[in-house]
Amino acid sequence: MNKSIVELIFELKFTCMTKEESIREELNLSPSEYHGLLSINPGEVVSCMKMSSSMGLSKSRGSRVIDKLIDGGYLKEAKNDGDQRIFNVKLTAKGISAIKKINSVMSECESAILKNVPSDELQTFTKTLHKISEIIKP
């Protein structure tokens, strides 16, 4: 029996979530902390408000996630020379290392896909994934 499109999407989602969960457990991060970590780039200094917004969280919920990332050693405070009232953060060496680990696992997954999808099918495959993503977005 052939699987439906939705069944295939859920299977793919489950596989990806399993890999993500494994990385999160290794780094001792909650889902919100994991996404928070991925919302800031190495070398970037960002306000807590902007980081909360990029995580899709309220300022108060984002602040709690940021506090946990600071407590975990992934982020540190970065002073704002222009306005002392604004709380900025940046990645620590541990945070940068965690992002490199996450990116490494993502690259491994992407390499496996690229290795197994013939190059003449890759553009159509990618367009189809984009189209599905757009269709099912809320």
Which CATH number fits the domain that encloses residue 94?
A: 1.10.10.10
Q: Mean pLDDT across the stretch 41-57? A: 90
- Domains of the chain: total: 1
Domain that holds residue 37: 5-136
Output phi, psi for 77, to 5 deg: -70, 140
Q: Which amino acid is at 35?
A: H
**Distance separating the N- and C-terminal Cα atoms of the chain:** 30
The H or E element that residue 33 is part of is helix 31-37
CA angle, corner 39, sides to 33 and 42, nearest 5? 105
**Residue 74 confidence (pLDDT) above 90:** yes
The pLDDT tens digits of the residues spanning 92-127 come to: 999 999 999 999 988 988 888 888 888 889 899 899
3-class SS of residue 79: coil
